[in-house]
Structure 1
Amino acid sequence: MCRNRHRVFDSPANADLAMQLLGSMDREGLTASLAWIIMPDHIHWLAQLRSHSLGYCVQRFKARSSFLINRRRGSRGAIWQAGYYDHAIRSDASLHRHACYILENPVRAGLAAQIGDHPYGWCRWPLSELEPAGEREW
């Protein structure tokens, strides 16, 4: 969540930067991303850890994105609120439900008409393989 729910990612340049950083986490061998959505004031990221802890990966993403966004805007200070929310996934069915839930966020927020329309999202699986998440069961 962005600090004070500031809409940092309303800026296409900032949203693109966040997507590039998520990809770089994969290329560096820290994570294997499965799905993500960049919302105006927060990010949903479904990833498998490859090395290091979740805390390390989140801190690294937040530090890099804060530095680059601040440099781009000519500003200083915190971009992110402290902490993060996590959830352990224990089955393939749950994994697909979580991916669909993440991708449905822009639709629920009125930012997209249907799943897949939001420009700042990605999923490892074709959308046709995902069933709507429905009510959250976690």
Structure 2
Amino acid sequence: MTDYRRQYRTGGTYFFTLVLADRRQHWLVSHIAALRQSVREEQLHAPFALQAWVVLPEHCHLLMRLPEGDSDFSNRLRRIKSAFSRQIPLPMSRRQSQIGKGERGVWQRRFWEHAIRDEEDWLRHMDYIHHNPLKHGLVDRVCDWPHSSFHAYVQRGVYPEDWGWAADLRMPAGE
């Protein structure tokens, strides 16, 4: 078994990617209210700042800042995934290993995490999050994707509404 090593920093800021077990399913956007509720409930249970996010049909990206003295992002993500999974129908096919472990088979077991190092790294991940619907060919303009914190940042004047057109990429090649 692979030895996953996570970098836990109290009060740290992290970029996460959560992916559905079956990427052909589009549960995240078709059950967006359930996902939002799961995140809100977790914020009440174990506070954190959700600085940015984008929800795509089969995966989502989050930028989360933990409170000072707290480094437990793993349990927060586990509870968000679990709460969401309980709110949607069971997948048609689950593996025996999922059934044996009491898993609903909605999410991939692991998640991808990156500890944000500095402001430049934070800005790069903010852009990546907000650019993701365009990257995946879901829209021609970032502002056309409804399930993103991009719209809140436009309202605050951080991004112009026309940021991220297919012809105007700020992303380095290969990302």
Task: Tell me, yes or no, whether TM beats 0.5.
Answer: yes
**Structure 2: distance between partners of 1:83 and 1:32:** 22
Secondary structure in structure 2 of the residue aligned to 1:60: helix
Contact 2:53–2:129 (Cα < 8 Å) also in 1:
yes
Return the offset for 1:29. Answer: 4.1
Q: Is the 8 A contact 1:35 1:45 kept in 2?
A: yes
Q: Which has the larger radius of gyration?
A: 2
Q: What is the number of equivalent residue pairs in this alignment? A: 136
**SS of match in other structure, 1:5:** coil
Secondary structure class of the residue paired with 1:94: helix
Aligned match of 1:43 in 60, 71, 84? Answer: 60
Larger helix share, 1 or 2: 1
Unaligned ranges ≥5, structure 2: 1-18, 95-103, 164-168
Q: Within 1, Cα distance between the matches of 2:152 and 2:59?
A: 22
> What secondary structure, in the 3-state scheme, does the structure 1 residue paired with 2:49 have?
strand
Cα distance, 1:137–1:107 mapped onto 2, change above 3 Å: closer
Report the 3-state secondary structure (helix = DSSP H, G, I; strand = E; otherwise coil) of the residue aligned with 1:35. Answer: strand
| 5+ long unaligned stretches in structure 1 | none
Whole-angstrom distance in 1 between the partners of 2:174 and 2:117: 13
2:158 is matched with which residue? 129
Q: Establish whether residue 60 from structure 1 lines up as the match of residue 65 from structure 2.
A: no
Supply the RMSD in Å over aligned alpha carbons.
3.0
* Equivalent residue runs for 1:82-97 within 5 Å: 82-97=109-124
SS at match of 1:81: coil
Q: TM-score, normalised by structure 2?
A: 0.65
Q: Secondary structure at the match of 1:112?
A: coil
Q: Secondary structure at the match of 1:58?
A: helix
- Relative to structure 1, the CA distance from residue 47 to residue 107 in structure 2 (aligned partners, 3 Å threshold; closer, same or farther) is same
Match of 2:33 in 1: 16
- Deviation of 1:39 after TM superposition, in Å, equals 0.8
Kept after mapping to 2: 8 A contact 1:107/1:113: yes
Secondary structure of residue in 2 paired with 1:20 = helix
Aligned-partner Cα distance in 1 for 2:37–2:173:
29
Q: TM-score, normalised by structure 1?
A: 0.80
What residue identity is the alignment partner of 1:20? Q
